[in-house]
Amino acid sequence: MTKSRLSDNNKSIKRILIIDDEPDVILVLKQVLAANGFEADSYEDPRLALKNFRANMFDLLLLDVKMPDINGMDLYQEMKKIDDKVKVCFLTPPKGEKTKASV
């Protein structure tokens, strides 16, 4: 079981790591998550995120599938070597929609 941080009233706060090369996506996700009681950290650079990733720090990873340098699927495989219990949700644009990474 992934460790969660405890708040002052002993309720666990779920920690989520967002990795997306688009800052606007990160901003919206962080706002929605914070409004719903989650703590979110983020990286725009997937290599930097991998370098700083540690086991048992996060309850969930939100990973963009299409990023330059390393895609979300490959990034998850590397992160899973560090923390084999972390859960993941992959983010991808609707089919046919262009993103900054695909323009």
For the stretch 21-75, pLDDT in tens is 999 999 999 999 999 999 999 999 999 999 999 999 999 999 999 998 899 999 9
pTM of the model: 0.81
CATH number at residue 38: 3.40.50.2300
Q: What's the rounded Cα separation, in Å, for the pair 37 and 35? A: 6
Q: How many domains does the chain have?
A: 1
* 38, part of any domain: yes
Q: What is the pLDDT of residue 37?
A: 95
Q: What is the per-residue DSSP string for 23-77? A: HHHHHHHHHHHHHTT-EEEEES-HHHHHHH--TTS-SEEEEESS-SSS-HHHHHH
Burial class (CB in 10 A: 0-12, 13-18, 19+), 83: middle
Q: What is the pLDDT of residue 78?
A: 97
Q: What is the mean predicted confidence (pLDDT) over 74-97?
A: 91
Domain that holds residue 48: 5-95
Q: What is the pLDDT of residue 99?
A: 52
* 64, part of any domain: yes
* 47, part of any domain: yes
Tokens of 12: 């666990």
* 29, part of any domain: yes
DSSP state of 95: T
